[in-house]
């Protein structure tokens, strides 16, 4: 992975840092794994705006990703590493020995021509998907299931991973990207390695237009609103806005919104770091 830094020849190029896409091997997706993608523009079925700051953006097609990795015991060859406009990580096209093709989240370091496998027979190598009971302690994993057979839910963003710290009985303890330590059933699957495109966090758009290309419209700061529109609005001149809170009055910066009665609370050994 590499980043491209631009000279400030125009205001839009100043501070612009984007991916060099040197890891991407093709710009044509697999037709059989691509479907159309509907976008609401923040409107509901009546055409009324119900979500602010959404709209515009470049037209996208959705790539169908195999998060379950349930084709156990069959080897697959990596045919290409591709860009996916719907996520920050790269995706990899697999061609299985029986002829079927599937997209997966590309782990960091996966190369074209490598073979990967999932299931009980798989070895703990980059890109292979194993049950947590078979993953060596201390391993780095991503695309982790929360329920057996559900498909990967955790650590799917660019450059993210979790670490398997221990196993006890039917549970394995994972240290997540947030710092939270959580128990997951050992019958859940996870993929070895961290997700690709770790330099995504260092990218800088350089101009507001790039946000518009992504379908993000300008966001109005609460401090500049009127009291009728937001709890932080109003005041004479450039007032600070009082305590930071949402439009509905829920405090920000430290206020816990997680349900105390949530069933999965018992599985969290250590909360995420503040």
Instruction: Supply the DSSP string of the chain, one letter for each residue.
Output: --EEE---SSTTTTT-EEE--TT---SS--GGGEEE----TTB-TTS-B-STTB------EEE-B-SS---TT--EEEEEEE--TTSSS-EEEEEETTS-EEEEEPBTT--TT-EE-BSTT--S-TT-EEEGGGSPTT-EEESEESSTTS-EEES-STT--EEEEEEETTEEEEE-TTS-EEEEETTSEEEES-BS-GGGGG-B--SHHHHHHTTB-----GGGS-TTT-TT---SSS---SS-B-TTS-B-SS---S-TT-GGGGGEEEPPP-
Chain segment 63-82, per-residue pLDDT in tens: 999 999 999 999 999 999 99
Residue 20: give the domain boundaries: 3-201
Instruction: Report, as an integer, the average pLDDT of 239-252.
Output: 91
* Residue 233 located in a structural domain: yes
Reported for 39-45, long-range contacts at CB under 8 A and 24+ positions apart, including other chains, are 39/215
Q: Is the pLDDT of residue 20 over 80?
A: yes
Whether residues 165 and 238 fall in one domain = no
Q: Is the pLDDT of residue 241 over 80?
A: yes
* CATH number of the structural domain spanning residue 79: 2.40.50.140
Whether residues 23 and 154 fall in one domain = yes
Average pLDDT, the chain: 95
Instruction: Report, as an integer, the average pLDDT of 123-129.
Output: 97
Split into its structural domains, the chain has a count of 2
Q: Is the pLDDT of residue 14 over 90?
A: yes
Q: Is the pLDDT of residue 90 over 90?
A: yes
pLDDT the model gives residue 273: 77
Whether residues 166 and 243 fall in one domain = no
* Residue 219 located in a structural domain: no
pLDDT the model gives residue 1: 66
- pLDDT > 70 fraction of the chain, expressed in percent and rounded: 99
> Are the beta carbons of 191 and 128 closer than 8 angstroms?
yes
* Residue 207 located in a structural domain: no
Whether residues 74 and 38 fall in one domain = yes
Whether residues 243 and 137 fall in one domain = no
Whether residues 235 and 184 fall in one domain = no
- Strands 101-105 and 115-116: what pairing? unpaired
* Residue 218 located in a structural domain: no
φ/ψ of residue 253, rounded to 5: 60, 65
* Residue 220 located in a structural domain: no
Q: Is the pLDDT of residue 124 over 90?
A: yes
């Amino acid at each position: 992975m590499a980043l491209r830094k631009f000279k400030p020849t125009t205001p839009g190029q100043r501070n612009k840092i984007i991916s060099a896409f040197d890891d991407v091997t093709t710009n044509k997706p697999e037709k059989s794994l691509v479907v159309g993608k509907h976008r609401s523009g923040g409107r509901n079925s009546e055409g009324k705006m119900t979500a602010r700051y959404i709209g515009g953006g470049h037209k996208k097609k959705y790539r169908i990703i195999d998060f379950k990795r349930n084709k156990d015991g069959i080897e697959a060859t990596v045919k290409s590493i591709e860009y996916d406009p719907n996520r920050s990580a790269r995706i990899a096209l697999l061609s299985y020995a029986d002829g079927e093709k599937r997209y997966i989240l590309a782990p960091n370091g996966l190369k074209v021509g490598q073979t990967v496998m999932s299931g009980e027979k798989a070895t703990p190598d980059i890109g292979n998907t194993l049950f947590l009971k078979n993953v060596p302690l201390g391993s780095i994993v991503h695309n982790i299931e929360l329920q057996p057979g559900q498909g990967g839910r955790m650590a799917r963003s660019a450059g993210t991973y979790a670490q398997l710290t221990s196993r006890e009985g039917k549970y394995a303890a994972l240290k997540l990207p947030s710092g939270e330590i959580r128990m997951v059933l050992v019958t859940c699957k996870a993929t070895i390695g961290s997700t690709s495109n770790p330099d995504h966090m260092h990218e800088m758009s350089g101009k507001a237009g790039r946000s518009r290309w992504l379908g993000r419209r300008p966001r109005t700061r609460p401090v500049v609103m009127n009291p009728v529109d937001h709890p932080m609005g109003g005041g004479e001149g450039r007032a600070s806005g009082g305590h930071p809170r949402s439009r509905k009055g829920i405090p920000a910066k430290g206020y816990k919104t997680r349900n105390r009665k949530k069933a999965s609370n018992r599985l969290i050994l250590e909360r995420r770091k503040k």
